[in-house]
Amino acid sequence: MSASAVFILDVKGRVLISRDYRGDIPASKAERFLQKLLEVENESELPPMIYDEGVTYTYVQHNK
């Protein structure tokens, strides 16, 4: 399996960097990812991978 697209978002969900490799994932899916994260009330319950409507999201949260 390979990545169709990569989006790097800021803490507000804005796309900072994006790369679309195959053209099958619209940019609106990045907005959907933020909505999915906001649906979870407790951050400790967030899984590292989220599957939604045929798209698998994964994230790494980094704090300075």
pLDDT for 16: 92
Q: Where are the domains of the chain?
A: 5-58
Q: Is the pLDDT of residue 1 over 70?
A: no
Report the pLDDT value the prediction gives residue 64, as an integer from 0 to 100: 60
Summarize pLDDT for 15-46 with one digit per residue, the tens.
899 998 988 888 888 888 888 888 877 777 77
Nearest CA to 55 among 16, 29, 27, 23? Answer: 29
Question: Do the Cβ atoms of 15 and 5 come closer than 8 Å?
Answer: no
pLDDT at 4: 86
What are the pLDDT digits (tens) for 3-16?
888 888 888 888 89
**CA gap 57, 42 in Å, rounded:** 18
Distance between terminal CA atoms of the chain? 32
pTM: 0.71
